[in-house]
């Protein structure tokens, strides 16, 4: 069964460093998302991406964040200068269509900022 | 307005019992209400979803009940099994967006 994959599973970084989280969405999916979940809290939407453009972003997704689809398979989330409060589990998701189609989530990358 | 409130935070049920998780929302523009199931070390996976034009949707042992006037919806797991032990999230989204607004999650433990 096709699945969304994410690497690395755990990333530890120093405050102020740049990190890139990687995702490989399901191959025929066209819509891509990043969500995050701070430990013990709810899953929060960060950004949606379609046709090489951001479709929607939340207030969390400030100038420190960027997304990119550098090739036909990868979808990345970059955090330019990490803060302690960026420590969270980051989930990538993809869907075949827009309009509330099922979003398939990856297993997540746990980001720890020291 | 954008929140989805979920309760309880945790739930312990005996095998064979009924598990009930409740969610409430404020934004009447929400028109899609999925439930996600998450096992440890995995991402959330869609379990079942409902739109407000129906009051109930059943898939196997899982049923969503939807009360549009009360702005509430709930997940019922019949004949709960130890394999159902997971965290359950309700979510909502509105027309014109794919952004899911998640509830805070319910950790369900089903004991044999």
Across the interface, of B32, B89, B104, the residue whose CB is closest to A100 is B32
Across the interface, of A56, A91, A99, the residue whose CB is closest to B99 is A56
Tokens for B67, please give them.
């009360």
Query: Looking at beta carbons, which residues of chain A come within 8 Å of B101?
Result: 45
Peptide bond into A8 cis (omega under 30): yes
Are the Cβ atoms of B89 and A91 closer than 8 angstroms? no
| Cβ(B108)–Cβ(B87) below 8 Å | yes
> Mean pLDDT of all residues in chain A?
94
Per-residue pLDDT band for B42 (boundaries 50, 70, 90) equals confident
Q: Region B3-10: what's the mean pLDDT? A: 96
Mention every residue, 6+ apart, whose C-beta is less than 8 A from residue B8.
B21, B22, B106
What are the pLDDT digits (tens) for A42-81?
899 999 999 999 999 999 999 999 999 988 789 999 999 9
Q: Region A85-108: what's the mean pLDDT? A: 92
State the pLDDT at residue B97.
87
DSSP per-residue string spanning A63-112:
TTEEEE--SSS-EEEEESS--GGG-EEEEEEEESSSSSPPPEE---EEEE
Name every residue in B having a CB less than 8 A away from some CB of A.
Answer: 32, 34, 36, 41-46, 49, 89, 93, 97-105
What are the pLDDT digits (tens) for B46-99?
999 999 899 999 999 999 999 999 999 999 999 999 999 999 999 999 888 889
Are the Cβ atoms of A56 and B97 closer than 8 angstroms? yes
Q: Region A5-16: what's the mean pLDDT? A: 97
Mention every residue, 6+ apart, whose C-beta is less than 8 A from residue B65.
B55, B56, B73, B74, B76
Across the interface, of A31, A99, A105, the residue whose CB is closest to B43 is A105
Beta bridge partners of B59: B62
H-helix or E-strand spanning residue B106: strand B106-111
Selected for mutation to probe chain A from B98, B104, B105 (highest A CB count within 10 Å) is B98
| Cβ(A88)–Cβ(A109) below 8 Å | no
Q: Region A83-107: what's the mean pLDDT? A: 92
> Mean pLDDT of all residues in chain B?
94
Are the Cβ atoms of B99 and A105 closer than 8 angstroms? no
H-helix or E-strand spanning residue B88: strand B86-94
Query: Looking at beta carbons, which residues of chain B come within 8 Å of A108?
Result: 43
């Amino acid at each position: 069964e096709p699945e969304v994959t994410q690497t690395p599973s755990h990333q530890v970084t120093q405050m102020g460093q740049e990190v890139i989280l990687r995702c490989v969405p399901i191959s025929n999916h066209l819509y891509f998302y990043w969500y995050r979940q701070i430990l013990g809290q709810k899953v929060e939407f960060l950004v949606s991406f379609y046709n090489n453009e951001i479709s929607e972003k939340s207030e969390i997704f400030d100038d420190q964040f960027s997304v990119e689809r550098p090739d036909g398979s990868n979808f990345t989330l970059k955090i330019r200068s990490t803060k302690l409060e960026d420590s969270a589990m980051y989930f990538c998701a993809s869907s075949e269509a827009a309009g509330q189609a099922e979003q398939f989530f990856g297993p997540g990358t746990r980001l720890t900022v020291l | 307005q954008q929140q989805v409130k979920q309760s309880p935070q945790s739930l312990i049920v005996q095998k064979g019992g009924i598990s009930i998780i409740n969610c409430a929302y404020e934004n009447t523009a929400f028109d899609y209400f999925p439930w996600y199931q998450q096992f440890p070390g995995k991402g959330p996976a869609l379990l079942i979803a409902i739109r407000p034009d129906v009051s109930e949707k059943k898939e196997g042992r899982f049923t969503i009940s939807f009360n549009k006037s009360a702005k509430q919806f709930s997940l019922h797991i019949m004949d709960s099994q130890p394999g159902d032990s997971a965290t359950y999230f309700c979510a909502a989204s509105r027309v014109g967006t794919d952004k899911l607004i998640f509830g805070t999650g319910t950790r369900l433990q089903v004991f044999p």
